[in-house]
């Protein structure tokens, strides 16, 4: 069942009912000012850091669902309603929400009044613009009141939700004309404030929440709105808000437009005040003046769309499969950009006060956006590498505002170092910019111990190479990609963190998965060494990789007979083996070892993937392990803590489904690669939205596995490495346009009935117009013709002197 539809021409998902199975959200903002917005106008706003500079409040586990947002109320006689249905939940005659790329639109119609809201964050300003247009579609004159409402957060969202004994006494506001200023803590150490204003004179306002809502009311029945009259309250402590009242008369057919701006302002310390304790509003007024007419709003909206046109033209596909076209050309790349902006910090499942940027997460996210914003990817690589330790390990997370490693979680995740190679290699393959390798990058943000990025990569590889266990496999430490495989933790007390309890490294627990990564990224590192002319180092690295390859295929180490072992626990016992009672097979080493090419020649690759199909596949995707753990295993950690079928305990982790799909392309099985792609692909799961429940235009992290009560139900949408890996899978492996160090390679692996297709790709400043004649073949390039001339192999030689290149690929 669907709750809306795709409008590909406008790059929008059109939600037709406010009662979606879960809030379906969108993101506004692309630089420093961000909002989350749901299909019922729920959500919140922050500047740069969702924890430390939160502008508005949100309540995560409250009922009714999705509480707090930036709301408009319309009072028409005795009826009070919202264009986005919530929070009053008054039935609407018509409702529509269009989530677009960096903006959302709402349409609500009630009793002959129509309200259209367009909301977006302009490209170059720290504010959210919401234009509300009210239209009288009835045949009689209408007098209505419009109310706006936002609830301020007292900046530090974590403290705001805990430290009531202090915070109920700190709130301060100012009001000037239609502008309401939130200046809490500005008197002391903050030089920033927020403003919420409208480009029209107002009848009244409220800034104290209790005056607006009334005692024991909530946003669904605000007393002042029900009374039709805001009270001009001035907040003093408690909970400051900003609410405007506009009384409007509309003739039949008449429309009126109002522009609301929610902005963030920072003042220089020496220029904080206008007079004693009166804030300097000049910059705010300048900001508001930039959006005080419809024409200015239209221009800013056009600029935003223009920016996205440019980004989304970098990789486009035209195939006979609309769903593939829509995911590749619009939504998958959009989600990659959102993961760039948010990492794992702020979503409807990430509270914004918890995790900042993950080391491994950010490196993988980069794989999905490096072609879109290479300069910012470069910066990101340097930021990430700056949190590495001198021995090659790394902080597992860092804060976006300070860019410093997060010592609460610390280090010790065995896979982290290798992801830095993955990200850097992707950047160089995309841009050809090797100067990044010569950048001086600090360790643990200490400039006095800076070394080149190349040296950082060397230490990444070296750390894993020199930290091996009894089978010569890499030590796992606190965990590897699977954060919940905590083999050194041995936690028995509730509340202990599985990721930080126990030693950060043990001498025995090993990861086969990291072995697969070692092969994949070791090879990529060796190629980088070659590029730098370091042939001896390249040879040594390749020797280590070859040795690891053998270890992975050895049935006394990495190989279990029909599939790859997952790990060895701290007692040396196998994890993910036929010898185990539960958790006999895990997805990660099958996908990653094979995508690294391990076992391709020996037939073990095919065997491993056949086992995945036989043991882990479901109609909703490939599960992470089977059989699920039914009891808690102290020696395995968090993985066995979840009820069977959820999260890492036999859930369908969308993140590593593309590994399996990519692995299938490596052995040339296009039908199966695409089958795996389809199972978690939003454009396909849209049809089962009532089961899947999360947004049908983007990926979620996890879908409940076969053992779960709600098999097929998605959770944790938006901020997941799935976005990047799926884009890598579909764009580089299935459609096959892969950036190598030497140029673009075209080597598709598609289902037999996929048909001919074309890809437009801007790469290193050159526009490639690629057409593929598929000939019913799943993999294999018979002919590569570049600007009319036949070329050997699959790589298009890079020629910077050309602006456009015509490429014809004949499969066979
Ligand atoms: C984390 C990832 C991890 C994955 C699997 C996610 O929540 O952000 O770093 O790889 O879970 O455990």
E-strand stretches of 199-303 = 204-208, 240-250, 255-266, 273-275, 278-279
Per-residue pLDDT tens over the stretch 36-50: 999 999 999 999 999
Structural tokens at position 312: 């989304």
Q: Is 129 in the pocket of ligand 1 (CB under 6 A)?
A: no
Q: Which atom of ligand 1 is nearest to the CA of 360?
A: 9
Q: CA 185, CA 772: separation in Å to the nearest integer?
A: 61
Q: Which atom of ligand 1 is nearest to the CA of 481?
A: 10
Per-residue pLDDT tens over the stretch 602-619: 999 999 999 999 999 999
Share of the chain above pLDDT 70, in %: 100
Q: Is 344 in the pocket of ligand 1 (CB under 6 A)?
A: yes
Q: Is the pLDDT of residue 386 over 90?
A: yes
Q: Which of 586, 651, 655 for a ligand 1 pocket mutation test, highest count of atoms within 8 Å of Cβ?
A: 655
The owner of tokens 């086969």 is: 512
Per-residue pLDDT tens over the stretch 771-799: 999 999 999 999 999 999 999 999 999 99
How close is the Cα of 701 to the center of ligand 1, in Å?
Answer: 9
| Beta strand pairing call for 621-622 and 625-626 | unpaired
pLDDT band at 400 (very low <50, low <70, confident <90, very high): confident
Q: CA 574, CA 560: separation in Å to the nearest integer?
A: 9
Q: Supply the residue whose CA is at minimum distance from atom 5 of ligand 1.
A: 482
Cα atoms in the 13 Å half-sphere on the side-chain side of 272: 14
> DSSP class of residue 136?
E
pLDDT band at 621 (very low <50, low <70, confident <90, very high): very high
**Burial (Cβ within 10 Å: 0-12, 13-18, ≥19) of residue 749:** buried
pLDDT band at 711 (very low <50, low <70, confident <90, very high): very high
Q: Which atom of ligand 1 is nearest to the CA of 653?
A: 5
Q: Which atom of ligand 1 is nearest to the CA of 483?
A: 12
Structural tokens at position 417: 């170092």
Q: CA 727, CA 730: separation in Å to the nearest integer?
A: 5
Selection from 442, 456, 357 nearest residue 397 by Cα:
357
How close is the Cα of 724 to the center of ligand 1, in Å?
Answer: 13
Structural tokens at position 30: 């692309």
Q: Which of 364, 479, 513, 721 for a ligand 1 pocket mutation test, highest count of atoms within 8 Å of Cβ?
A: 721
Q: Is 361 in the pocket of ligand 1 (CB under 6 A)?
A: yes
pLDDT at 399: 81
How close is the Cα of 772 to the center of ligand 1, in Å?
Answer: 36
**Burial (Cβ within 10 Å: 0-12, 13-18, ≥19) of residue 619:** exposed
Q: Is 358 in the pocket of ligand 1 (CB under 6 A)?
A: yes
How close is the Cα of 513 to the center of ligand 1, in Å?
Answer: 14
What does the radius of gyration of the chain's CA atoms come to, in whole angstroms?
28
Please provide the average confidence, as pLDDT, over all residues in the chain. 97
Q: Is the pLDDT of residue 355 over 80?
A: no
Q: Supply the residue whose CA is at minimum distance from atom 11 of ligand 1.
A: 483
Per-residue pLDDT tens over the stretch 438-459: 999 999 999 999 999 999 999 9
Q: Supply the residue whose CA is at minimum distance from atom 9 of ligand 1.
A: 361
Per-residue pLDDT tens over the stretch 276-302: 999 999 999 999 999 999 999 999 999
For residue 500, the SS3 value is: coil
Query: Vertex 477, ends 653 and 428: CA angle to 5°?
Result: 65
How close is the Cα of 501 to the center of ligand 1, in Å?
Answer: 17
Selection from 44, 99, 131, 125 nearest residue 303 by Cα:
125
Ramachandran class of 508: left when φ > 0, alpha when ψ lies in -120 to 50, beta otherwise: alpha
Q: Which of 361, 395, 567 for a ligand 1 pocket mutation test, highest count of atoms within 8 Å of Cβ?
A: 361
Q: CA 249, CA 267: separation in Å to the nearest integer?
A: 39
Q: Is 482 in the pocket of ligand 1 (CB under 6 A)?
A: yes
Q: Is the pLDDT of residue 401 over 90?
A: no
pLDDT at 354: 86
How close is the Cα of 411 to the center of ligand 1, in Å?
Answer: 15
Q: Helices 416-431 and 374-385 meet at what angle, rounded to 10?
A: 150
pLDDT band at 555 (very low <50, low <70, confident <90, very high): very high
Q: Is 483 in the pocket of ligand 1 (CB under 6 A)?
A: yes
Q: CA 24, CA 717: separation in Å to the nearest integer?
A: 9
- Which long-range contacts does 10-14 make (Cβ < 8 Å, 24+ apart)? 10/98, 10/100, 11/100, 11/101, 11/308, 11/312, 11/330, 12/98, 12/99, 12/100, 12/105, 13/98, 13/99, 13/331, 13/695, 13/696, 13/697, 14/96, 14/97, 14/98
Q: Is 712 in the pocket of ligand 1 (CB under 6 A)?
A: no
How close is the Cα of 647 to the center of ligand 1, in Å?
Answer: 10
Sorted by sequence, the CB contacts under 8 Å of residue 810 that are 6+ apart come out as 773, 775, 781, 782, 783, 784, 785
- Give the mean model confidence (pLDDT) for residues 268-278: 97
Q: Which atom of ligand 1 is nearest to the CA of 355?
A: 8
Q: Is 484 in the pocket of ligand 1 (CB under 6 A)?
A: yes
E-strand stretches of 658-750 = 700-703, 714-717, 737-739, 744-746
**C-beta separation of 37 from 69 below 8 A:** yes
How close is the Cα of 676 to the center of ligand 1, in Å?
Answer: 20
Q: Is 360 in the pocket of ligand 1 (CB under 6 A)?
A: yes
pLDDT band at 210 (very low <50, low <70, confident <90, very high): very high
Is 483 part of the annotated catalytic residue set? yes
Per-residue pLDDT tens over the stretch 543-554: 999 999 999 999
Q: Is 349 in the pocket of ligand 1 (CB under 6 A)?
A: no
Spot the catalytic one: 66, 483, 569, 617. 483
Q: Which atom of ligand 1 is nearest to the CA of 716?
A: 7
How close is the Cα of 664 to the center of ligand 1, in Å?
Answer: 23
Q: Which atom of ligand 1 is nearest to the CA of 648?
A: 12
Q: Is 339 in the pocket of ligand 1 (CB under 6 A)?
A: no
**C-beta separation of 679 from 619 below 8 A:** yes
Q: Which of 398, 481, 716, 720 for a ligand 1 pocket mutation test, highest count of atoms within 8 Å of Cβ?
A: 481
How close is the Cα of 395 to the center of ligand 1, in Å?
Answer: 15
Q: Supply the residue whose CA is at minimum distance from atom 10 of ligand 1.
A: 481
| Beta strand pairing call for 446-452 and 625-626 | unpaired
Q: Which atom of ligand 1 is nearest to the CA of 344?
A: 8
**C-beta separation of 559 from 604 below 8 A:** yes
pLDDT at 275: 98
- Give the mean model confidence (pLDDT) for residues 312-333: 98
Peptide bond before 87: cis, by omega within 30 degrees of 0?
A: yes
Structural tokens at position 429: 């393959």
- What does the DSSP assignment read for 352-379? SSS--EEHHHHHHHHHHHTTT-HHHHHH
Phi and psi torsions of 657, nearest 5°? -60, -45
Residue 672 C-alpha from the chain's centroid: 27
How close is the Cα of 481 to the center of ligand 1, in Å?
Answer: 6
Give the number of other Cβ atoms within 10 Å of residue 441's Cβ: 22
Q: Supply the residue whose CA is at minimum distance from atom 8 of ligand 1.
A: 361
Q: Which atom of ligand 1 is nearest to the CA of 479?
A: 12
- H helix or E strand, kind and range, residue 110: strand 103-110
């Amino acid at each position: 069942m669907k709750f809306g539809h795709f409008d590909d021409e406008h790059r929008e998902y059109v939600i037709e009912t406010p009662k979606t199975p879960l809030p379906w959200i969108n993101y506004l903002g692309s630089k420093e000012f961000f909002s989350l917005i749901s299909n019922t106008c729920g959500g919140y706003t922050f500047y740069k850091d969702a924890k430390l500079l939160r502008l508005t409040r949100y309540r995560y586990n409250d009922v009714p669902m999705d509480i707090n947002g930036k709301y408009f109320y319309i009072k028409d006689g005795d009826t009070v309603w919202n264009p986005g249905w919530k929070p009053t939940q008054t039935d609407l005659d018509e409702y529509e929400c269009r989530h677009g790329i960096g903006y959302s639109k709402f349409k609500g119609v009630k009793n002959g009044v129509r309200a259209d809201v367009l909301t977006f964050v302009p490209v170059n300003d720290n504010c959210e613009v919401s234009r509300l247009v009210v239209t009288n579609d009835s045949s009689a004159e209408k007098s209505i009141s419009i109310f706006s409402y936002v609830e301020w957060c007292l900046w530090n969202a974590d403290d705001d939700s805990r430290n009531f004994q202090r915070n109920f006494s700190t709130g301060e506001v100012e009001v000037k004309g239609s502008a309401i200023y939130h200046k809490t803590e500005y008197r002391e150490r903050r030089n920033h404030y927020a403003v919420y204003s409208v480009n029209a004179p107002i009848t009244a306002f409220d800034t104290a929440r209790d005056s607006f809502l009334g005692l024991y009311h909530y946003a669904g029945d605000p007393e002042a709105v029900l009374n039709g009259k805001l009270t001009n309250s001035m907040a003093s402590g408690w909970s400051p808000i900003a609410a405007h009242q506009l009384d409007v008369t509309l003739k039949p057919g008449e429309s009126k437009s109002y522009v609301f701006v929610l902005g963030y302002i920072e003042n220089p310390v020496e220029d904080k005040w206008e007079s004693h304790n009166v804030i300097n509003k000049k910059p705010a007024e300048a900001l508001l003046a930039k959006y005080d007419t419809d024409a200015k709003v239209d221009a800013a909206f056009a600029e935003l769309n223009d920016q996205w046109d440019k980004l989304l033209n970098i990789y486009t596909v035209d195939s006979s499969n609309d769903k593939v076209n829509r995911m590749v050309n619009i939504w998958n790349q959009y989600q990659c950009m959102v993961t760039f902006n948010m990492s794992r910090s702020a979503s409807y499942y990430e509270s914004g006060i918890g995790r900042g940027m993950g080391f491994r997460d950010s490196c993988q996210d980069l794989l999905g956006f490096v072609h879109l914003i290479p300069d910012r990817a470069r910066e990101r690589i340097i930021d990430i590498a700056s949190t590495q330790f001198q021995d090659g390990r790394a902080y597992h997370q860092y804060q976006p505002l300070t860019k410093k490693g997060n010592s609460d979680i610390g280090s010790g995740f065995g896979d982290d170092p290798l992801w830095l190679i993955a990200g850097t290699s992707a950047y160089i393959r995309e841009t050809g910019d090797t100067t990044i390798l010569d950048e001086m990058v600090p360790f643990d943000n200490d400039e006095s111990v800076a070394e080149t990025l190349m040296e950082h990569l060397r230490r990444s590889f070296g750390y894993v190479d020199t930290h091996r266990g009894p089978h010569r496999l890499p030590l796992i430490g606190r965990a590897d990609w699977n954060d919940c495989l905590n083999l050194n933790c041995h936690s028995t007390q509730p509340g202990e963190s599985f990721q930080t309890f126990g030693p950060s490294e043990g001498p025995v627990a090993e990861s086969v998965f990291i072995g697969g990564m070692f092969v994949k990224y070791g090879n990529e590192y060796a190629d980088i060494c070659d590029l730098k002319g370091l042939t001896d180092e390249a040879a040594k690295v390749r020797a280590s990789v070859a040795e690891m390859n053998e270890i992975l295929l050895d049935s006394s180490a990495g190989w279990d007979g029909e599939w790859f072992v997952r790990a060895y626990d701290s007692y040396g016992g196998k994890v993910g083996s036929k010898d185990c009672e539960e958790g006999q097979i895990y997805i990660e080493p099958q996908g990653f070892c094979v995508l690294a090419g391990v076992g391709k020649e020996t037939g073990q690759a095919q065997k491993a993937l056949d086992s995945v199909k036989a043991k882990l596949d479901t109609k909703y995707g490939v599960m992470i392990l089977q059989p699920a753990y039914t009891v808690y295993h102290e020696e395995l950690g968090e993985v066995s803590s979840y009820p069977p079928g959820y999260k890492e305990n036999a859930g369908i982790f969308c993140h590593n489904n593309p590994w399996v799909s990519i692995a299938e392309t490596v052995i040339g099985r296009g039908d199966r690669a695409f089958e795996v792609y389809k199972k978690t692909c939003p454009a396909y799961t849209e049809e089962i939205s009532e089961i899947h429940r999360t947004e049908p235009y983007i990926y979620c992290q996890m879908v409940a596995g076969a053992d779960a009560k709600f098999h097929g139900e998605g959770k944790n949408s938006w901020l997941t490495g799935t976005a990047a890996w799926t884009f890598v899978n579909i764009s580089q492996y299935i459609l096959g346009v892969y950036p190598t160090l030497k140029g673009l390679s075209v080597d598709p692996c598609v289902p037999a009935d996929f048909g001919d297709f074309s890809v437009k790709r801007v790469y290193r400043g050159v526009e490639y117009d690629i057409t593929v004649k598929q000939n019913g073949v799943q993999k294999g390039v018979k002919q590569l013709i570049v600007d009319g001339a036949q070329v050997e192999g699959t790589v298009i030689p890079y020629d910077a002197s050309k602006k456009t290149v015509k490429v014809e690929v004949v499969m066979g």
